[in-house]
Amino acid sequence: MPVRRMEVSVRPYAWMPRPLRWFARVVTVLLALALVLAGVLVYTVRKSFPQVDGSLRLPGLTGSVEIYRDKSGIPHIYADTPADLFMAQGFVHAQDRFYEMDFRRHTTAGRLSELYGSSTIENDKALRTMGWRRVAQEELPGLAQETQDLLGAYAKGVNTWLDANPNASDRGLEYSILKLQNGSYRPEKWTAVDSLAWLKAMAWDLRSNLEDEIDRALALTKLPKERVEQLYPGYPFDRHSPIVTAGAIQQGRFDQLAAPRQRASTALNQAARTLEAVPDLMGTRDGDGIGSNSWVISGEHTASGKPLLANDPHLAPQMPSIWYQVGLHCRKVSAECPYDVTGFSFSGMPGVVIGHNAKVAWGFTNLGPDVADLFLEQVDGETYLYKGQQVKLETRQEQIKVAGGAPVTIKVRSTRHGPLINDVIAGAQPSGEANAVALQWTALTPGRTADAVFALNKAGDWDEFKAAAALFDVPAQNLVYADTSGRIGYQAPGRIPVRANGDGTWPVPGWTGEYDWNTAPIPYDQLPSVEDPAEGFIVTANNAVIDPSRYRPLLTKDWSYGYRSQRIRDRVEEAVANGKVDAGTMAEIQQDTYNGFAETLVPALMRVDLAGPSVQARQLLEKWDGMQGLDSAAAAYFNAVWRQVLVRTFDDDLPAAARPSGGDRWYEVIRGLLDLPEDPFWDDVTTKNRKETRDDILRQAMASAYQELSGLLGDDIKAWRWGDLHQLELVNGSLGTSGIAPVEALFNRGPLALPGGKDAVNATGWNVQRDYSVNAVPSMRMIVDLSDLDKSRWINLTGASGHAFHDNYWDQAEAWARGDLLPMRSSAKAVKKAAVHTLKLNP
């Protein structure tokens, strides 16, 4: 009997119960959509990655340019002329970081609202009032013609890249996302003024004591002047050495061998709010949150017999990093093409800011002179009072374009002292004798810092270096120097005002004229300078430059208090005493986590009567060496106690804007109060019928710290780890703070657990008013070996690329967190040997 063939039709999901079939189909569709979207995202992300191999045509070049990149994506550029070299640098910066550059120029011009709408109006109002970009426009024609030409060449390179990438997806993931909100936005051509305006942002974030000036005045609204001055102790010259330990002004010049000669209101609240609206592109909101370390050791103390130079600027963490590593090389170094420099640049600016060329190396730390003053003004309508007369205000209109909204127009008014910064607060009603506040700041006068950058890059010896430093107007920096001939040096540059009266620590009346600045700043030849000091090394870490008993005029009274600098000096002296110093020794010092105030506060804590579980926690401090490593339970507890001491001692006495953030100024304040157990600051004014003393506050601080850490880290005290509290989130400066979690996840990275602390040498800052998260870091690290420049080492906070998901977006971050350094190659042989990508640019 023939077998009948049975046809069986198998339907998808036929085995499933009917209610689940629809669910499975939905899941399948969603998965398919997810795959498609993932594919689109991957395509969009990768489409903007730069071409780093092969060849490209770059119209405007006069000859070919070669770009070698190592595995970290760090480019070294080789050209035959300066114009080609810096045009190629502009192209490379745009390849890796154009969105960052575009964001920065909108910020410095007060035009963020063109990108992001009304949410950034207050930022733009503040920037337009100060007029950073207007000053940059005035600055350009005063620069050397060579500088103007090279700024133009750099802009040409950026614009050639922009022309080659006309679509949003070609330029970067950020533009694809921005297009969803602001589809009409198209980046403008890059200009030389865009580059110069960034120098104003650099100057603003390194502006020294302006916040201290406001904080003093605001504190005065709640405290008598003598108690406010108690919060600003003098620099401890007896314990912490200044940078320059000898010399004085003699016959109109600073001579390092010379012997010394003996010798608030409503408007202020508005001004404080205005200053808070100005974005900090490099620094932090904390007045003492910016710092840096830099030191140099002569060859007499090194294993190689040649100098070693170390630098690590402390700035706000950013994604991508503020810095961009690069090598700029003329194939044949000559008078016509004098550049052969490797170091750290800013995307958006030509040249190298910190680094070395074939003969000299240099590093920066913030000198921190008082270059900005607040003048209280009496304004009546469109005039202001000055020396008994009503003087007409200078005025201008500024229109702010707003994406998705109507333009906003503001009126900027200025006195002879500067713009009225309280004017930009909508609805504010100033009152009192002084009803307005003007800001006078050296960076609002055109300068020649751009000339200085190019001059530093090609300096060949100490004299050429000093001549370059003379052009560095703002921000005033401590410059340390070393060269291959064995010389080391220090120079303080900058435009630093001379006041007719006053010391710049308090806002002053502008109507009298008695506190006006002199026409001329401190002459450059009178600024402190040192060449080959007898001790064989120079240390700068934002500490006092020189003892004012041996030096006039006044630089500032608001230095960092020398805890980092003294620790570096002590470590250097110890290393020198134990033998010859090498680059490894320099790197170890950079990683030092010692808390310099522990030796003062811990004994005071040990003397307090204590009961309960916090007794066991305090035992962590008995044998603690003061080091703040990742695994240290003692460091976790000490910092928690420190936080509680400051909050409990001062928050009840001070307005919110003037409360302590935790820097080394507060070390000195508490040091003084520890000897005054009945001082009014110890008393908590919020408690009735009770007067707290020093020991009451220390006892409460230890108990509260125990409670806090038990809640955060568990009850096992020995398992507490400083690294579990002290962590860094790398946040993109624009879209990384959008408030939209999926968008933030695209651009932000971390967290990274970090050792160190606010005023340790490894300066990982945090704010006691918030939590233990890191808000200031060594933004890069560099050690230059003048015996063999290819043995130099460096590291960046994140990576070369600004493109999220690129291999070099944050590939240096974990090595940076561990304290590792990468080879800082500079010779053509070493660069080419390490290259994994080679791109040739042709005319």
pLDDT by residue (tens digit) across 619-631? 999 999 999 999 9
The secondary element (H helix, E strand) that includes residue 751 is strand 749-753
* SS3 label, residue 397: strand
Arithmetic mean of pLDDT, 245-274: 72
pLDDT at 273 exceeding the cut of 80: no
Residue 725 pLDDT level (bands cut at 50, 70, 90): very high
Cα 219 from Cα 264, distance rounded (Å): 9
How confident is residue 15, by pLDDT bands cut at 50, 70 and 90? very low
Q: Which of 754, 809, 808, 748 is nearest to 778 (CA)?
A: 754
Query: What pTM was computed for the model?
Result: 0.92
Q: pLDDT for 180-237, tens place per residue?
A: 888 889 999 999 999 999 999 888 888 767 888 888 988 998 999 999 999 999 999 9
CA neighbor of 802 nearest in space, from 284, 92, 57: 92
Q: Is the pLDDT of residue 4 over 80?
A: no
Which residue spans within 500-545 are E strands per DSSP? Answer: 508-509, 529-531, 537-540
Q: Which of 675, 684, 674 is nearest to 650 (CA)?
A: 684
pLDDT at 266: 60
What pLDDT is attached to residue 214? 84
Q: Does 37 have pLDDT greater than 60?
A: no
Instruction: Tell me the pLDDT tens digit for each residue of 377-425.
Output: 999 999 999 999 999 999 999 999 999 999 999 999 999 999 999 877 4
Q: Between the CA atoms of 642, 646, 647 and 650, what dihedral angle is there, to the nearest 10 degrees?
A: 170
* CATH code at 51-208+264-592+780-843: 3.60.20.10
Q: What percent of the chain has pLDDT over 90?
A: 83
Residue-wise pLDDT tens digits, 440-495? 999 999 999 999 999 999 999 999 999 999 999 999 999 999 999 999 999 999 99
pLDDT of residue 262: 38
In this prediction, residues 785-798 reach a mean pLDDT of: 98
Binding residues for Ca(2+): 213, 370, 373
Q: What are phi and psi of 381, to 5 degrees?
A: 65, -120
Peptide bond preceding 475: is omega within 30 degrees of 0, i.e. cis?
A: yes
Widest CA span of the chain, in angstroms?
129
- Does residue 14 carry a pLDDT above 50? no
The DSSP code for 627 is: B
pLDDT at 22: 45
Selecting among 72, 176, 265, 292, the annotated active-site residue is: 292
Give the whole-angstrom CA distance, residue 701 versus residue 705.
Answer: 6
Class of domain 598-627+629-725 (CATH, top level): mainly alpha
Structure confidence at residue 427 as a pLDDT band (50, 70, 90): very low
3-state secondary structure of 777: strand
Q: Which amino acid is at 823?
A: P
Where are the domains positioned within the chain? 14-47, 51-208+264-592+780-843, 598-627+629-725
- What is the rounded average pLDDT for all residues in the chain? 91
In the predicted model, is pLDDT for residue 177 greater than 80? yes
Closest Cα to residue 701, out of 649, 756, 655, 777?
A: 649
The confidence band for 432, taking pLDDT boundaries of 50, 70 and 90, is: low
Angle formed by the axes of helices 598-606 and 664-674, nearest 10°: 40
Helix (H, G, I), strand (E, B) or coil at 292: strand
Give per-residue pLDDT as tens, 611-668: 999 999 999 999 999 999 999 999 999 999 999 999 999 999 999 989 999 999 999 9
Work out the pLDDT band at 364, boundaries 50, 70, 90: very high
Mean pLDDT score, 769-778? 97
Q: CB of 360 within 8 A of CB of 108? A: no
Strand partners, 242: none
Tens of pLDDT along 534-558? 999 999 999 999 999 999 899 999 9
The answer to whether residue 25 scores a pLDDT higher than 70 is: no
SS3 category, 660 = coil
Band of residue 263 on the pLDDT scale cut at 50, 70, 90:
very low
Q: DSSP for 513-524, please give it.
A: -TTPBPSS---G
* Catalytic-residue membership of 64: no
Burial class of residue 452 (count of CB atoms within 10 Å of its CB; 0-12, 13-18, 19+) = buried
Residue ranges at the known binding site: 213, 370, 373
Which of 269-273, 678-682, 769-773, 791-795 is least confident? 269-273
Percent of the chain with pLDDT over 70: 90
Return d(Cα 555, Cα 367) in angstroms, integer.
9
Q: Which residues contact 275 (CB under 8 A, 6 or more apart)?
A: 126, 210, 211, 214, 421
Question: Who contacts 6 (Cβ-Cβ below 8 Å, separation ≥6)?
Answer: none
Rounded-to-integer distance, Cα 527 and Cα 254, Å: 6
388: left (phi over 0), alpha (psi -120 to 50) or beta: left
